[in-house]
Amino acid sequence: MAKYRKLGRTSAQRKALLRSQVTSLLYYGKIVTTETRAKEVRKIAEGIIAMAVRERDNYETVTVTAKVPRKDAEGKRVREVVDGKKKTVYDEVQKEIKKDSPSRLHARRQMLKIFYPVKEVPQKGAGRKKNTKQIDMVAKMFDEVAPKYENRNGGYTRIIKIGPRKGDAAMEVVLELV
């Protein structure tokens, strides 16, 4: 018996399809797809969610000193002349950062292998490249999805059958996060 379904595609196409659907499922919370695809997507998505739940609090907070350029009222960098050259003035600022443990870093990299980049376009500036913003899916997994499922042992997704598709009569389902 095979370990996975081939879905009638080459390995590169199949991997791209599954990555795309997993990214969409975890970004939107639900997708509509065929039953066989949903079962494959479910395997990958549940593994990612389990990884996020396991590594959710596995970091330490560290205070670091960072050099930040000083800015004027217009938001431009302040420059002063030193030895005949204009140089930017820097201030030292204390920042708190999260330092991942090695296992959380590994989990982050495993997730990055699967997720496609997600860009969010606001309704107001639709069609403009300037207003789009990149969504950090890994941070979303650790900060939003993992706390939701911390007391649950598996079974993070649900498949609901909605009937055959009109064109080819393939069984369509809704795959959603519980």
List the domain boundaries for the chain: 11-57+101-177, 59-100
Superfamily assignment of 11-57+101-177 in CATH?
A: Ribosomal protein L17 (3.90.1030.10)
- What pLDDT is attached to residue 121? 82
φ, ψ for residue 68, nearest 5 deg = -125, 130
- What pLDDT is attached to residue 125? 65
- What pLDDT is attached to residue 124? 75
pTM for the whole thing? 0.83
Whether the Cβ atoms of residue 23 and residue 135 lie closer than 8 Å to each other: no
- What pLDDT is attached to residue 42? 97
* Cα dihedral value 162, 166, 171, 173, nearest 10: -40
Could you tell me which residues are beta bridge partners of residue 60?
99
| Nearest-angstrom CA–CA distance, 50 and 29 | 16
Kindly list the averaged pLDDT for each block of 10 residues, start to end, along the chain of length 178: 88 97 97 97 97 95 93 89 89 93 96 95 72 91 95 96 95 97
Task: Determine whether 64 is exposed, middle or buried from the number of CB atoms within 10 Å of its CB (0-12, 13-18, 19+).
Answer: exposed
- What pLDDT is attached to residue 32? 98
